[in-house]
Structure 1
Amino acid sequence: MQFSLATATVILAALVGTVVAESHTVHFTNNCGFGTPTLIQGPNVLSTGGDYTSNGPLISAIAYLQTGSCGFNGEGCTLIETTLENGASSTDISLIPPHTFSVTSGFGYFNGCDGAGADCTSADCSTAFHQPNDTFVQVACTVDNVDLAITFCD
């Protein structure tokens, strides 16, 4: 069986079109009984508690439980910082001023790197940034299309 160049091009385009694009979901669980889970990227509020799915990488996003005393960028509260990108995801908890402990906060990857994550249950937790060179608290994941679960008050 012979295919013309045009037929081969159409078949190739159809096969390439079936490749699944990069995506990542951030899921919130709020066990506090108060506050609003908030996910922000730059000047944009991406979620106020519902699942957020990115179509492509999610670069430099932040999450926190808005208790009424947090600034727009999580000032005054426990902050979770994340970049979800195929082959190079990284997430951490930050208490670097002006961020400060507000509620127990944690995260864990799922659909890849399951079990990798961190929890911070007090202002002196060892799993959070307290100064910029605490890079050992970053939790990496190199699995494509990994998702992230964030929990408050667990």
Structure 2
Amino acid sequence: MAVIAATLGHALAETHTVHFANNCGFGTPTLIQGGTVLSTGRDYTRNGALLGAIAYLQTGGCGFNGEGCTLVELSLTNGFSSADISLIPPHAFSVTSGFGFYNGCDGAGTDCKQPNCPEAFEHPDETFKQVGCSAPNCNLAILFASREEFYSPV
């Protein structure tokens, strides 16, 4: 019985990776969840769901939670993952930022290349700007600079 439970637990396990590509030549990619810094540029892998995380390029002018900078909000979980770009105050455009799913929902993503970009949240009720993925164990590449590299993260 223990072997069956262990096998079933392994089969149901989920894992997600957040990959950063910083082509700006400056700044530190930062991934935070619940007040805890999870990564400052290295790939971050979570065995299980990664819910309510934020990412931004720390350029020296960003607050701890990305205040004053372009923010990527993300939740990665089997069943329905979601990500978006936020410019809702106190967040503001700082650098070209974008994201793309890979290892499931390849090609789904968006980017923000200029202030007031139409792809980014500017008001909390713009939930239609979220990009979703229902594939299990999907990953997210976050890019600071050009969009061409979103879908080949490694």
TM-score between the two structures when normalised by the length of structure 1? 0.91
Residues in 1 aligned to 2:2 and 2:21: alpha-carbon distance in whole angstroms: 45
Which residue is equivalent to 1:6?
none
Residues in 1 aligned to 2:3 and 2:37: alpha-carbon distance in whole angstroms: 41
Could you tell me how far 1:137 is from its partner in structure 2?
0.8
Residues in 2 aligned to 1:13 and 1:72: alpha-carbon distance in whole angstroms: 41
Task: Pick the aligned partner of 2:92 from 89, 100, 105.
Answer: 100
Which residue is equivalent to 1:4?
none
For structure 2, which runs of at least 5 residues remain unmatched after alignment? 147-154
Residues in 1 aligned to 2:9 and 2:52: alpha-carbon distance in whole angstroms: 29
- 2:83 matches 1:91: yes
- Look up the SS of the partner of 1:123 in the other structure: coil
- Look up the SS of the partner of 2:92 in the other structure: coil
Which residue is equivalent to 1:60?
52
Could you tell me how far 1:14 is from its partner in structure 2?
5.2
Could you tell me how far 1:76 is from its partner in structure 2?
0.2
Report the residue type matching 2:27 in the other structure: G
Between the two proteins, the alignment pairs up a number of residues equal to 146
Which residue is equivalent to 1:152?
144
Could you tell me how far 1:22 is from its partner in structure 2?
0.6
Task: Pick the aligned partner of 2:65 from 65, 69, 73.
Answer: 73
Residues in 2 aligned to 1:140 and 1:54: alpha-carbon distance in whole angstroms: 18
- 2:40 matches 1:48: yes
RMSD: 1.2
Report the residue type matching 1:95 in the other structure: L
How many percent identity over aligned positions? 66
Residues in 1 aligned to 2:53 and 2:112: alpha-carbon distance in whole angstroms: 19
Q: Deviations over 1:70-114 (max 9, x none)?
A: 000000000000000101111000000000000000000000000
Residues in 1 aligned to 2:5 and 2:91: alpha-carbon distance in whole angstroms: 49
Which residue is equivalent to 1:129?
121
Distance 1:10 1:78, change over 3 A: closer
TM-score between the two structures when normalised by the length of structure 2? 0.91
Could you tell me how far 1:134 is from its partner in structure 2?
1.3
For structure 1, which runs of at least 5 residues remain unmatched after alignment? 1-8
Residues in 2 aligned to 1:11 and 1:59: alpha-carbon distance in whole angstroms: 30
Which residue is equivalent to 1:116?
108
Residues in 1 aligned to 2:9 and 2:130: alpha-carbon distance in whole angstroms: 35
Larger Rg over CA atoms: 1
Report the residue type matching 1:58 in the other structure: L
Report the residue type matching 2:74 in the other structure: T
Which residue is equivalent to 2:14?
22
Which residue is equivalent to 1:141?
133
Could you tell me how far 1:20 is from its partner in structure 2?
5.2
